[in-house]
Every structure is written in structure tokens, then in C-alpha cells.
Chains A and B, each alone.
Chain A
Amino acid sequence: MVQRVDHSFKAMGGPARFRMEVDDVGLADVAVTAAVAEVERLERKYSRYLDDSLTSRINLAAGTGQVVTIDAETAGLLHYATTVWRESGGLFDLTSGVLRRAWDFRSGRLPEQSEIDAILPLVGWDKVEWDERGVCLPIEGMELDFGGCVKEYAADSAAAQLQRSGVQCALVDLAGDMAAAGAPLQGAGWPIGIRHPRARDSAAATVILPRGGLASSGDYERCMEIDGVRYGHILNPTTGWPVGGLVAVSVLAEQCLVAGSAASVAMLKPAPQGLEWLGGLGLPWLAIDRDLQCHGNLLEAGSD
């Protein structure tokens, strides 16, 4: 008798949920433990909010000349981030998080250009010195932020862990980053509502995820409007200013990590180039522009 099991918890600063279909509830219990532990492991390792995380140690060593030793997994993430940086023409940049110091989206105040100019020298993936053994941020104040890929990676890793523990059918949802390991018995896949960018809690569309990952990126989370101009939290690492491109993008891919990067890069580009990038990848996607027009083939490809 197949039973549905849900497990909700908090991780990586947001709500997290595992949905599973299992024959043996006891098995699900064990599998959930291992998968939650995997998410927590990645959070402890990469969160910039935890003082003893690897990320914090790397950031603390910035400008000291000290090379912080890294393991194969971290080197893999840096290698992956380099690929996304290169493919995005330098728009996706793990060092761009320091720009947050200039931009306070709750203040309703635009930063002075001089504030941004003071921070821009700290941004630039090409300045980071790293190899398979260690990483060094050469300038004091530089910061690495794995936020742009670790949650997606954790969703994939948790789904893989559930599968390894014997759960053949599971959906991992880490605050909107989804990874499916096997489709449920009923229906072609997991039904997932994609949020409307300007209306909380209402779905713009429902897509069906049979396997792989779905990630969404949007600037409706943090933004401010000044004199009728909307400033989103997605910042161009070269100018330090909000991009002002698409307002929401969702992408389906074999891996949640790749889906997330595809969506992030689309958001970092001006709207026309963003749409072009998405169209070119050949993945199912959905984008919403500033006029709330929907683009993309996700609804035809994924929905029922």
C-alpha cells in the first residue's frame, strides 16, 4: 500500500518540504533523516550567516593572503560557478554579494554612486585565486556568496539521498527550488504551482515535474519603488545597479542546479537578451516581463 508522506522543516533560511510516496513509512523516516542531514550539512558548510562555515572562513581570510583549504565538493562548486560566470559573460558572479552593503531595499533610499563605486573594486570573479586545493580572496572586504547555487545543489543532493535511502518517488522543495526523484504513481509528475510575480500566494501557472529540477528566480522578493521606477534586488556586478530585466523566470532542467543557474542568468540580462538566452538553451522555461507578459514554452511542455 503506497502512502504519501510529507515532511516540512526549515532550512537555508526558508521553508523546506519533502513529499514522498512510499510503501514503508519506517523507511521514509530513515530516509528523511539522512536527507535533512544532507541539507543541514550543506547549510553549515556554505552559509555566509554562520561564523564557522567554510564560506565565512574564506571571507574572513580575504586580504590576508591566506589560502583557505577546500575539499573536492567545494572545488566542484567553484568550477561550476566559473562555468556559469563564463557562459553568462561575467553577469553571474559569486563575489557580487558585497553590493548588498550599498543597497538596502527596505530603506526606500537609493545609494549614492560614490557608495557603489567604493564597493565595485571588491567584485569580480576573475580576481579570486583558487585551485583544487584552496581559495584566496586577494582584497580585504571581498566576499564569496554561494547563495546563488547552494540551495539548488542541496535540493538535488537531498533528492539523491532520498533515492539512495530507498525512496523511489520524492519531491524536494527548498523554498521554491525543486528536485524530483521519480514521479508519483498518479499523474505524469509532481504538480507545481509557479507564483505570479506581483501577487503573493496565487499561482500564475501549474507545471508538472516528472523528474529533474525546477528553479525560479524573481525580483518580487526584495525591491523598492522610487519615483515610479522599480529597483529589483538583482544587481549587475559590473555597474552595481539593478538589472531591470525580466521580473520572474522559471526553468526546468535535469538538475535543479542547472535550472537555477539558467534562471539566474536570464534575470541578470536585459529582458530581450534574457529571453534569447532562455530560448537558446532548449530547456522548458517561463519568463514574465515588466508588463506581466508571459513568455516561454514551459506551459506547453510541462502542464497538463
Chain B
Amino acid sequence: MATNKNDRNPALMALTSSALLLPAYQGAQADAPPEFAEAGMQYSKYKEDDITAKKAFGFTDSTRQRFDIDVAQFHLLAPVLDDWSVAVDVAWEDMSGASPWFVGESASGDPKVIMSGASIEDNRTEVSVTTRYYFDRGNSGLSLTYSDEDDYESKAAAFDGAFNSADGMTTYSGAISYSDDHIDPTQGAVPTNTTSASKDIYSAWAGVTRIVSKRAIVRFGLSYTYRDGFLTDPYKFRDSRPNERKEWVASGGYRRYFEEQNSALHVDYRYFNDDWDVQSHTLDVAWVWDYSPAVTYTPFIRYYTQHEAEFFNNLAQQDQRYFSDDYRLSAFGAFSYGLRASRKIQNWEVSVDAERYRTDESWGVFSGEESPGLVDFWRYGIGLNYIFK
């Protein structure tokens, strides 16, 4: 350029120096806190199907009723100062119903569930506060969570960070968390395995996300969780579990945008493995269809399959050191499918969703005994979000 740097015109110097303050001239783009505050509310209803007479002892409807959970959530996110945001999340849950107490052998020799009876009523309140700091190449957050219910208390802290590569194409993320949990089982409905116990949960996660082409993103993640303490279900009659559990999760995801369809395909896979011999595969597929700039429909389907824990038996072997007849530790397969729809109206966004979850031992890829306690459920939700702009 013909400019002589020693003899620059003051007007040009003024223009250039004020232009250079703009982010485009300062290398990699800074992560920015959200531009606007937003608030949201969500109500969900989770309803388990009644257990069928074939699978449970008992003759009245009330002895076959399972769990109903009503959940109300409130979310607030606001930018503060220049480089920070604060989020507050509050959730209330109201649970009622019954869960399998133990599995016994029927006269015909089939395992059948004895339910705890419709006597469990519980409320849970959870409050979580997250502060996040945004810097040139990423952001970092610290969150504190407190959860309290009649018989359970949990205090947790988590720290996470995300860093973008210089070319802006790759994001590296990581998180660590710790949770201090305490249980004082409610006495009365069924005899409990303990009157007071606690556990610690340590978890670490690392992941990488990369833009691979014009319209596609891939991500990979690895996590490790260590649980230490009382891991037995205090309300189950025949349940005795190790005091330690080490869990690994490997996950991957792929997102691809289809311009002509105004849609994005999301495919996510997750592999779980632990030292109780539980393994699982989860495959999630969702089609996010922008029907119009304001309306989005997302049909989704999920497949889950699990290998049973080494100490699981329908008729728990109580002569062993560890035993459990909990259906959640059995081998099974599950499909869930549903639809989310959302609509933006100026600063508002309304969303509704419904999901059906069905499970069956025969749908799994791992063999094992069919637990009579396996559960199917419906979940419905409605949410409202508002952006203050």
C-alpha cells in the first residue's frame, strides 16, 4: 500500500485505530454472554402404566397402581456485567403411587411383583444456580445444586469449561462434579434397609465438538462416575448392593442440516458400562423440522438396551453377598417415541411435547430373565419461554 507509516494522516489514524477495536480485527471471536435475559416455565406429567394382573400379586386396581409424577420447572438466565451470565433453575416434583417392593414366585412358578401399595407420597424441591464467565476463546461455569425431599437430600457442585480452537471449528469441553447425598428413608409403608445413610458421587467428563462440513457437526464425549456409599435401594425388600460403583460412558453425536427440507437430523449414541456388569446402548434419532420461521416440529425415537447387573435375579438370591430383584438392573430393551412442537410469538415461545416409553425384555439385545417389574410410561409437557428484548 502506498501509505507511508511515518507520515500518516491524522484522520486515517483516527479511523484505523477505532476500527481496530472491533472484534473482526482481533483474531478468534470471543464467546459472548447471552444478549438478553430469558425466563421459562415447564410443566410435565409423568405417568407409569398400571402393572398388569399377570405380573403382580394383588387383586384391586389400587394394588397395581404405579408412579405419577408432576413436575414444575422454572428457569431464569440473565447476562450480568460484560462477560458473565447467571442462571437460576428451580424444580418442584410431586410424586405419588407405588413401586415394586419385591418379586415373589407365584403358584404357577412365574415371578410376580409385590407392590409397595399406594402409600408413597413425596415432594422434591431442587434449586440450582449457575454462574458463567465468557472469555475470548470459550466460557466456563460453576453451578451449585441443592435438592431436598422427604427422605433425601443432595448437595452438588459442578465446574465446566469450553474452549474453541483458533479456527473456530473445534470446541473442547470438560466438566467435573461432586455430589454429597443423604437418605433417611420414610418409615411406615414398608420396612427399610437402613434408617440413615449417605453417598458421595464424583464425576468427570470430556468432550470435543467439530464442524466437519458446511452442514454437519460431530461430537464425542467420555465420562467417568464414581459412586461411593450406600447404593442399595432402602425400600426394596430383597436388595443388597455393593458400596461402590464405577461407571464409564462413551457418547457420540452427529447433526446434519438439510437445506431443502429446512430440517436437521440429530443422531446420538451412548454406551454405558460399569463394574456391576451393567452395560447399555442408547440410540436417539430426532428430525428437527422448521416448518416456518416460527414453528418447529421434532419427532424423535429412542432405543435403549441394557445388560443385567451380575447380582440381579428375579428371585433375589439372598444367600449371596449382593442381590437385587430391581427391574432397573435387569436385562431389557425399550423404545420411546414422541413429538415436540414449538411456536415463537414475538418474544414468547410455547412448546408442547408428548413421549411414550415402552419396554420389554424381548426387545433387548442382551439375554436375561424377564423382570415382571418393567414399566411403561407416558410423559407430557408444556413450556413457556420469554426473552426480555
Contact = CB atoms under 8 A, between A and B. Distances in A.
B275 interface: no
A80 B19 contact: yes
Contacts of B11: 87, 277, 280-281
B321 interface: no
B4 A282 contact: yes
B21 A34 contact: no
24 contacts: A30-B212, A30-B214, A33-B213, A34-B168, A34-B211, A69-B35, A72-B23, A72-B32, A80-B15, A80-B21, A82-B18, A84-B15, A86-B14, A165-B167, A252-B1, A253-B16, A255-B20, A257-B19, A257-B22, A258-B15, A258-B16, A277-B11, A281-B11, A283-B12
Dominant secondary structure of chain B at its interface with chain A: loop
B12 A33 contact: no
Nearest to A132: B82
A280 B11 CA distance: 9
B148 to A, nearest CB: 36
Contacts of B82: 72
Contacts of A76: 21-23
Contacts of B2: 282-284, 297, 301
A33 B167 contact: no
Interface residues of A, number: 45
A79 interface: yes
B35 A255 contact: no
Given A29-B213, A71-B35, A283-B12, A254 B1 contact: yes
Interface string A147-164: 000000100110011001
Which of B35, B214, B389 gathers the greatest number of chain A CB atoms within 10 Å? B214
B291 interface: no
A282 B3 CA distance: 5
Contact of A79 (B21, B25, B32): B21
Contacts of B167: 164-166
B23 A69 contact: no
Contacts of A33: 211, 213-215
B7 A282 contact: yes
A73 interface: yes
Contacts of B28: 164
A281 B23 contact: no
Nearest to A75: B21
B38 to A, nearest CB: 13
B22 A87 contact: no
Nearest to A155: B24
Contacts, number: 107
A294 interface: no
Contacts of A283: 1-3, 12
Contacts of A262: 12, 15
A77 interface: yes
Given A30-B212, A165-B168, A283-B1, A153 B22 contact: yes
Dominant secondary structure of chain A at its interface with chain B: helix
A282 B19 contact: no
A246 interface: no
Interface size class of B (residues with CB under 8 A): 35 or more
A35 B9 CA distance: 32
A34 to B, nearest CB: 6
B150 to A, nearest CB: 43
A255 B389 CA distance: 32
Interface in B157-205: 166-169
A33 B210 CA distance: 13
A278 to B, nearest CB: 10
A89 B290 CA distance: 48
A76 B3 CA distance: 25
Contact of A160 (B3, B25, B215): B25
Interface in B206-226: 211-215
B214 A29 contact: yes
B258 interface: no
Interface in A82-137: 82-84, 86-87
A187 interface: no
Given A33-B214, A282-B2, A282-B7, A79 B169 contact: no
Contacts of A250: none
Sorted nearest first, the 4 A-B pairs with minimum C-beta distance are A157-B24, A33-B214, A83-B18, A76-B22
Interface in A274-304: 277, 280-284, 297, 301
A280 B4 CA distance: 12
A83 B15 contact: yes
A245 interface: no
B155 to A, nearest CB: 35
A26 interface: yes
Which of B14, B16, B18 gathers the greatest number of chain A CB atoms within 10 Å? B18
Which of B1, B36, B211 gathers the greatest number of chain A CB atoms within 10 Å? B1
Interface in B27-76: 27-28, 30, 32, 35-36
Contacts of B211: 30, 33-34
Given A71-B35, A77-B22, A262-B12, A30 B213 contact: yes
